[in-house]
A = this chain, B = another copy of it.
Amino acid sequence: MVSCYNIHMAEKAEKTKKLSTEPYKGVRDFYPADMAIQNFIFDTWKKTAESFGYEEYGASVLEPAELFRNKTSEEIVNQQTYTFTDRGDREVTLRPEITPSLARMVAARRRELIFPLRWYSIPNLYRYEQPQRGRVREFWQFNIDLFGVDSIEADIEVISLAYQAMKDFGAKDMDFEILLNSRALLEKIFEGKLKDTADLSKAIRILDRREKMKPSEFDAAMEEITDSPVDLSISPNEEIDKILASLKNLGITNVRFDPTLARGFDYYTGIVFEIYDTNPENRRALFGGGRYDDLISLFGGDKIPAVGFGMGDVGIRNFLETRGLLPKAKAPADYYVCVMSREESAFAEKIANDLRKNPSSGGSRVAVDFTYKKIGDQIKSADKRGIQNVIVIGQEEAKSGKIKVKDLKTGEERAL
């Protein structure tokens, strides 16, 4: 390698001009204004989760490919994962979802962990999809999971948490709707109607894609695997009735039973639910979840009941934009220190440092302008950045140590 260095330098000079400033296809750059929105979303998620006593965990983006093969939906594993062989001949997958990693972690310490377990995470996930509105190759997902409670109180809590997350973002009840169904009812719909009973998962998957298909396509797909017509106008069971009543008791009324609701993952075993955007121009599932009691036992040992959901950043960001719920931009600093000339730079740095450590302001955010441009231009720069307070350091200030702060909003000046 080292012997290639000269060749490398020559190549560098040649290639230089061709370097593209484009990111990889289907992923996003986050400039500060976008990152601030991303942080607003993450902070809101954290706040909601922690208000319900959930603790944050994390796992790696890199996982053994094997982990996803038997759990994640077939479509994702076969068509959408980033899987490759590392330099040590291991097959690695960039996680397309976090639930298998979570199940792995819970299974590994099932004897030490104190159940019920309330955990959340905000992982970055990877799917090789054709980029389009709402679909990107790298996204973040708020994941909430409650382990160790097999009764419907767990389902109720997780659905309330999903509801509360929407409210914490500022959404009104009329802005979204919670749809509810259960694996048991999905099975009932197809009971005695499938040509081959092993086709149940396939049938559920067709139902899951129903809204993306033409009615004729849907009917044809169903006819292929069923003997007699499927009736989608089934009534809720007792479990769903109880959950609806409990949610109502908690003040959550924008929720209803939907017998056609099916979630894409094989591992759901009980209740499934979806948060649906009611915007007439943009009706679509925002996110969803459900109960998956069998997943942990794939790692050996007994079943551990589990309920959870995953909420992607792209969908909620789009929702917040459409509803005008994004926060206003925040200035990058509380004070902007303008410096007349290089002679005063040391004094300016000291003033900035003192303000940063000032306990009465709880520690201010202070930026210094080292361009030595005209003071008017430096103040304009502060204004463009949205910074409210400006301090000008010239010869006089450096000598006397007397500093004034100018408020660019009110135009007032005060001594510091």
Nearest-CB residue, chain B, relative to A107: B21
Question: A74–B1 contact, CB under 8 A?
Answer: yes
| Count of A interface residues, CB-CB < 8 Å | 122
- Across the interface, name the chain B residue whose C-beta is closest to A115: B371
Query: Do B21 and A137 touch across chains, with their CB atoms under 8 A apart?
Result: no
Residue of B nearest to A87 (CB): B128
Instruction: Pick the contact of A53: B75, B109, B366 (CB < 8 A).
Output: B366
How often does this chain occur in the complex, in copies? 2
**Given B8, B32, B251, which contacts A57 in the complex, CB threshold below 8 Å?**
B32
Known contacts A5-B201, A138-B61, A332-B118: A246-B346 contact under CB 8 Å: yes
Is B23 a contact of A104 with CB atoms below 8 Å? yes
Complex: how many Å from CA A9 to CA B199? 11
Q: In the complex, which residues of chain B have a beta carbon less than 8 angstroms from the beta carbon of A198?
A: 5-6, 9
Q: Which of A149-157, A187-195, A402-410 sits within the interface?
A: A149-157
Q: Is A16 in contact with B298, judged by CB distance below 8 angstroms?
A: yes
Q: Mark A109-126, 1 if CB is under 8 A from B, else 0.
A: 100001110110000101
A67 at the interface (CB under 8 A from B): yes
Q: A370 at interface (Cβ–Cβ under 8 A)?
A: yes
Chain B residues in 8 Å Cβ range of A316: none
Nearest CB of B to A282, in Å: 26
Partner of A384, one of B60, B114, B346: B114
Partner of A2 from the list B124, B202, B384 (CB cut-off 8 Å) is: B202
Is A27 touching B62 in the complex (CB atoms < 8 A)? yes
Query: For residues 325 through 348 of chain A, which have their beta carbon under 8 Å from a beta carbon of chain B?
Result: 332-333, 336, 342, 345-346
Interface residues of A (CB under 8 A from B): 1-2, 4-6, 8-9, 11-12, 15-17, 19-25, 27-32, 34-36, 38-39, 47, 50-64, 66-67, 69-70, 74-75, 78-79, 82, 84-88, 90, 92, 94, 101, 104-105, 107-109, 114-116, 118-119, 124, 126, 128, 137-138, 148-149, 151, 153-154, 156-157, 160, 164, 198, 201-202, 205, 246, 249-251, 297-300, 332-333, 336, 342, 345-346, 349-350, 353, 356, 363-371, 381, 384-385
Q: Provide 27 A-B residue pairs closer than 8 Å at the C-beta atoms, listed in order of the A residue.
A: A8-B74, A19-B104, A20-B66, A23-B63, A23-B104, A24-B90, A25-B88, A29-B57, A29-B58, A30-B58, A32-B56, A47-B363, A51-B363, A51-B365, A52-B356, A62-B137, A94-B94, A114-B385, A124-B124, A149-B371, A151-B370, A153-B345, A157-B349, A246-B349, A249-B349, A250-B350, A251-B353
